[in-house]
Amino acid sequence: MTRPEAAALASRGPASTALTNAFADRTAVVTGAAGFIGSHLCERLLDLGAEVIGVDNLLTGRLDNLSSLRSAGGFDLRADDVTHPFAVTGPVDFVFHLASPASPVDYARHPLATLKVGAFGTLNAVELAQAKGARFLLASTSEVYGDPLEHPQAEQYWGHVNPIGPRSVYDEAKRYAEALTSCFQRSGSANTRIVRIFNTYGPRMRADDGRAVPAFIQQALSGTLITVAGDGSQTRSLCYVADTVEGLLAAAAHDHTGPVNIGNPHEITVLQLAEEIRAMTGSASAVAFVPLPVDDPKRRCPDITNALTHLGWKPTTALRDGLRQTLDWVRQNPVDQTGTAPAAAGGDAR
């Protein structure tokens, strides 16, 4: 989301007015600030009038994601590793904990770091919120549902997760993070919120992180084979990043403690997504089917009743519109698109 796009969102009616009232002249700490969703969140907070302290060790985040903010007033970036205790001077009103590898490629490459940031990173971030009397928001994931047996997935569903499989380092890190956050909330030690982010896409996704949208776009533009895992019948529900950010902010500003699903309930097969991107790019690339990753979910679709009822939130960006904006960004930023990987369409693209 560019600054003009964020400014346009800020002018959208009562919901945006409520967010301005909640965040203007407040201080927010965002861990994972240089990540995909984290960088968009920082931009939106600044446009709402907040002071933002970004924290990122740049394991998977990129400074380029924050290029428009690093010289902006009200934004401070700290190169801290949140798996170690970290301090922030002055008052803090909100702590958004987004730090974590979030794509299948990244958490396979950094399994121990993924487990540590889910455990120690969450503890350090929530203890910062506790010390400051700040509201804490945990960015959890639809991956806590595993390969679900219930559709769509509602928050009361406990999930179907392989605790020792290759995806478990991410799934179980987030499940533990939710348990820890809930413990602080139940004990009255901290004022916490939990959101479960479903598949998110948009500008700034890395082409080489193994997720479907950036991989398909890059493959289609380069004329190489579009690699679809399995037979492509597995489904995903894709939410544009600007909508996801609005959901995170609505959850942080509201009294509903969650967990609450933040995602788009429009379901599409991975093969349909590949064909849509191929058509939008005018590509002659053929589709090639590759082996399905272990424990790759067959269906993924959020029940957003709680988000609608409690937060007044729902996604507003149609898939074609979001893909067009993503495609425009990729074409304008070819240097950032280095390499591709077979697309599992997993992860929530933090």
Token pair, residue 136, equals 């804490």
Q: Are strands 235-237 and 51-55 parallel, antiparallel or unpaired?
A: unpaired
Judge whether 170 counts as a catalytic residue: yes
Alpha-carbon separation of residue 171 from 118, 174, 205 (angstroms): 10, 5, 21
Annotated active-site residue in 107, 145, 157, 170: 170
The values of phi and psi at residue 320, to 5°, are: -65, -40
Token pair, residue 109, equals 């490459």
Distance CA 65, CA 128 (A): 25
Q: Which helix (H) or strand (E) holds 177?
A: helix 168-187
> Where are the strands (E) in the chain, listed by range?
27-31, 51-55, 75-78, 94-97, 135-141, 191-197, 200-201, 226-229, 235-237, 239-240, 260-262, 267-269, 287-290
Going by C-alpha positions, the residue among 339, 37, 79 that lies closest to residue 197 is 37
Distance CA 296, CA 299 (A): 9
Assess contact for 304 and 243: CB atoms under 8 A: no
Nearby residues of 120 by Cβ (< 8 Å), 6 or more positions away: 82, 83, 84
DSSP string, 314-330: -----HHHHHHHHHHHH
* Residue given tokens 């479960």 in the structure block: 196
Alpha-carbon separation of residue 189 from 99, 116, 130, 135, 180 (angstroms): 22, 22, 6, 11, 11
Q: Are strands 239-240 and 75-78 parallel, antiparallel or unpaired?
A: unpaired
The values of phi and psi at residue 338, to 5°, are: -110, 105
Catalytic residues: 170
